[in-house]
Amino acid sequence: MTQVPSPQLTLPDGVELVPGRGGLPAVRIDLPGCTGEVYLQGAHVTSWRPAGGDVLWVSEAAVFRTGKAIRGGVPICFPWFAGGVDGTSTPAHGFARITEWNLVGATVDDRSVELKLALTDTVDTRAMWPHSFAAEYGVRMGRDELCLTLAVTNTGDEAFTFEEALHSYFAVRDIRQVRVEGLEGASYLNTVPGEDAGPHVQDDPIGFTGETDRTYQGTTATAVIRDGDRTVTVARDGSASAVVWNPWVAKSAAMSDFGDDEWTGMLCVETANAKADAVTLEPGAEHTMTARITEVDHGQEALIGSS
């Protein structure tokens, strides 16, 4: 069922609820400092443009359809990551990214817009995951930062354990020239099929020469994407896992919602609590996880400084 804003919610100037691609309801943001887009299905951020090109990446082959995950942007993985701790949970990455969220708040100031979206358990979710919960998602975007905050509360009478991720896809110029810094010294599991799962230790900045799928565990470090003269920073709070992923050639060709040659222009650096870092909540307890994303284009800075 399609969710709509609360009847008491008045959207401020620069924020509009519109039919998005595939007819899915979307919140369009158009402010002097940035533009953006958030789909109510999955509370899915598909665009953040503080200046120039979009910081986020969405596949040209992405499918916008009820109940189908959107390939790109920032999907929310909850209450499990991939197939869950034991690998048997379905749908992949949980139900939050394919379920309609309710838009419950929208405010604008002179620097940013902040949206609040909410999701609670239903008969359908309890059939997949038999727990009572309330989730609130805050999306604050402006010219300087995209801040994403996922708060999960146990509203039931028994403890539960969950995984979560803000599965952020970033646009890059050429993945073969990209480096990710900040995770040196962290332990990771390698989940590329046929390769040694580990655990391994990251000795150097991460470079990309083939399919990469790593879950870094027990680390709160900020990840820094070096993309030529452009830097994207992913700072995390309440997150002990980071996931780094690029499908490379063969896996890209195998995915129907991913263009065969698009792997060169994207990189996932995700804010997560997965595998050994899964979160256990007692009744009434809340856990909050935040990703703070910033971009600096040093080439653009140099142009401004010389003007």
* Full residue range of the structural domain in which residue 160 is found: 15-305
Which CATH number does the domain housing residue 224 bear?
2.70.98.10
Would you call 167 a catalytic residue per the annotation?
Answer: yes
Q: Which of 37, 136, 211, 270 is catalytic?
A: 270
Tokens representing residue 43 in the block: 């509370």
Residue 72 Cα distances to 27, 150, 172, 243, 268, angstroms:
17, 18, 13, 15, 9
CA-based nearest residue to 122, from 153, 93, 100, 91: 100
What's the CA gap between 83 and 101, in Å, rounded? 22
pLDDT digits (tens, 9 = 90+) for 279-300: 999 999 999 999 999 998 866 5
Assess contact for 238 and 288: CB atoms under 8 A: yes
Active site residue 184: no
Say what the pLDDT of residue 302 is: 43
Tell me, yes or no, whether 254 lies in a domain: yes
For residue 1, is it within any domain? Answer: no
Report the domain count for the chain.
1
Whether 5 is in a domain gets the answer no
User: Is residue 47 classed as helix, strand or coil in its secondary structure?
Assistant: strand
Residue 6 has pLDDT above 90, yes or no: no
98 is a domain residue? yes
Query: Whole-prediction pTM value?
Result: 0.93
pLDDT tens digit sequence for 168-223? 999 999 999 999 999 999 999 999 999 999 999 999 999 999 999 999 999 999 99
Taking the C-alpha atoms of residue 287 and residue 239, their distance in angstroms, rounded to an integer, is: 10
- Quick check: is 237 in a domain? yes
- Residues ≥6 apart with Cβ < 8 Å to 115: 15, 27, 38, 103, 105, 106, 138, 139, 140
Q: What is the pLDDT of residue 53?
A: 86
- Domain annotation covers residue 130: yes
- Residue 110: the pLDDT is 80
In what helix (H) or strand (E) does residue 248 lie, and over which residues does it extend? helix 248-254
Whether 88 is in a domain gets the answer yes
Query: Catalytic residue among 167, 211, 262, 295, which?
Result: 167
Q: Tell whether 3 is covered by a domain.
A: no
Mean pLDDT within 112-141: 97
